[in-house]
Amino acid sequence: MRLDRRELPRGGVALSVTPLLAEFSRAQSAFAPAPGAWRTFQVVTRVEIAGHDRDVQAWVPLPSANEADWFRSLGSEWKANARAAQMVRDPASGAEMLHVTWAADTEPAVEVVSRIATRDRAADLSKRGNAPPLSAAEHKSCTEGSDLVPVDGIVKATADRVTAAAAGEIDKARAIYEWIVDNTYRDADVRGCGTGDIVAMLKTGNFGGKCADLNALFVGLARASGLPARDIYGIRVAASRFGYRSLGANSEIITGAQHCRAEVWLTGFGWVAMDPADVRKVALEEPPGNRSIADAKVAAARKTLFGAWEGNWLAYNMAHDVTLPGAKGPKVGFLMYPQAETAAARLDCLDPDRFQYRITAKELTAT
């Protein structure tokens, strides 16, 4: 159910081998997401746009992914002091967003309340399943290129080199995943989740980035290798239950907790979770920080995130190259942050304090 309400309230170190072995054991055994009970969350996005008196509009991403095994979008409601507020759907991807426009001389504000259900997922890649094949249309859409993730040129050449010794689909996906983990790094200076411009990464040899860069690189190389793959854009909603501080939202305020994940389609298995970017996040950010790739906790993440992920995360959509309806500015490479425009310009979605948006999450049921 979606509501459009016209009024909105304001508002010196000694080392011991034993502890190291104990940490290794915990890291290897603890990080094991597996399908289980569903968890339900409420996520509230509040946008306020001050200091602009005309032609103000905003686009708020809504959870629109529905995956039977691990994610359900349970609907959104909103209230706004707006001239119009309407849910719209990107025709190419199905991504949903709330498009809001305000009359002149209004202090623009909108609040969106979304509910989702999520759970852990993991694939057993030791034995082939019986997942039905992708439709021809979905196979095409998940192997073709986009503006930021093309599948020809340097992307194709890199994919061919990385997968040259791979014998089948799983080997190809594994080769790409391991190559990204070994050759990229998480760059803390990159704003937001990055731009996802994989051609720039490959041409410059600068393999630093964040999730929208590193996981887009996985998707591009997979598609260029003939494997259907897709990015999924979302936001972390809860702390990790497996002891990884870097892989969770550790506060009810999740304004900066956006995270992009990836999937690859493997014959017989269906969509399989991938997240090489989070391996690099663990290496850089997991306390005490700057862990080596051989560190026990990083190694455990590396092993687990090929085929599994934790369900403490909201999936908005799988959209690339999104045209915002009614916008004067350019399309966006992906829709993971609130967007807004005034008469003068597109606002900076990576600066929530000046843009003035806030996102919070709370768990409604815990099991």
Match domain 121-316 to its CATH number in 3.40.250.10, 3.10.620.30, 3.60.21.10, 3.40.50.850.
3.10.620.30
Confirm if 64 and 94 have CB atoms less than 8 A apart. yes
Q: Give 135-158 as a DSSP string.
A: PHHHHHHTTS--SSS-SSHHHHHH
| pLDDT given at position 216 | 98
More confident residue, 12 or 91: 91
| Rounded Cα–Cα distance for residues 313 and 257 (Å) | 9
What local confidence, expressed as pLDDT, does residue 366 receive? 55
User: CA torsion sign, 20 to 24 to 26 to 31?
Assistant: positive
β pairing state of 39-48 and 109-118 = antiparallel
Joined tokens for residue 267? 């014959």
pLDDT tens-digit readout, 193-216: 999 999 999 999 999 999 999 999
Query: Among all chains, which residue has been given the structure tokens 């009810």?
Result: 252
Helical H segments across the chain, by residue range: 17-30, 136-141, 153-162, 169-183, 198-204, 211-224, 276-285, 296-304, 352-355
Mean pLDDT of 247-263: 98
Whole-model pTM: value is 0.91
How confident is the model over 285-314, as pLDDT tens digits?
A: 999 999 999 999 999 999 999 999 999 999
Please give the backbone phi and psi of residue 329, each rounded to the nearest 5 degrees, phi first.
-80, 180
Average pLDDT over residues 317-326: 96
Choose the most confident range, by mean pLDDT, from 9-13, 102-106, 246-250.
246-250
Q: How confident is the model at residue 105 (pLDDT cuts 50, 70, 90)?
A: confident
Vertex 188, ends 183 and 192: CA angle to 5°? 105
Q: For 36-45, how does the pLDDT look when each residue is reduced to its tens digit (9 = 90+)? A: 999 999 999 9
Nearest to 264 by CA among 91, 142, 93: 142
- Which part of the chain has CATH 3.10.620.30? 121-316
The amino acid sitting at 120 is D
Question: Burial level of 24, CB count in 10 A (0-12/13-18/19+)?
Answer: middle
